Amino acid sequence: MGDLIAEQLVSRETMTALQEFEALVRKWTKSINLVAPSTINDIWDRHIVDSAQIFKYAPDSFRTWTDIGSGGGFPGIVVAIMAREHHPTSRFTFIESDRRKATFLRTAIRTFDLRAAVLDQRIEQAVPQQADVVSARALTSLSMMFEMLQRHLSPQGIAVLHKGRRHDNEVAEARKLWRFELEEHASLTDPEARILAIQGIQSATD
């Protein structure tokens, strides 16, 4: 599925960096569980391509991007590598409470010379980021995530989230507690998954 990344109009330099990031993940996964063992042989499609596809849903004007629960750098490091080419002045923040994974993220930032920083704290305790974009992948249910999103998004910001086959149920549950604008996009890597672009998050009781 490398052509799916090529469709994002990335340069050969960016493609090479993404391939080098794949190799870095493979190396570190020998000692840290960065990705599920069942997906280690399919990192490119299951993780890198899956992460890269969200980049086009960020507004062209974004300057700050916060990735919450960054784990092994999916999607955070992937989109930060892509941003070097398309948004070279934008800054990224990765929030990851696991110290070993935070160390990996800092290593990736140095390796690929990214404009990024890591907060090794819990998402709900980190300083509010007021980010233009907040991303998350395989974190928690949508309704539980909204307080985190509201904490770290700017009022005009957009959340771009990976959601699996239960996305319809999660949206329905979230609407009981929250008001929000939603756009759903088909996933390029899983026909049952969706990319959710969410704005205007407010508590239903406000």
Edge to edge, what strands does the sheet with 153-163 contain?
Answer: 116-119, 91-95, 64-68, 131-136, 153-163, 194-203, 178-186
Q: Is 201 marked within a binding site?
A: no
Q: Is 104 marked within a binding site?
A: no
Q: Is 2 marked within a binding site?
A: no
Distances in whole angstroms, Cα of residue 36 to Cα of each of 23, 40, 51, 158, 165: 16, 7, 15, 28, 18
Q: Is 158 marked within a binding site?
A: no
Whether the CB-CB separation of 59 and 132 falls below 8 Å is answered with: yes
Q: Is 74 marked within a binding site?
A: yes
DSSP 41-56: GGHIIIIIIHHHGGGG
Q: Which residues are annotated as a binding site for S-adenosyl-L-methionine?
A: 69, 74, 123-124, 137
Q: Which residues are annotated as a binding site?
A: 69, 74, 123-124, 137
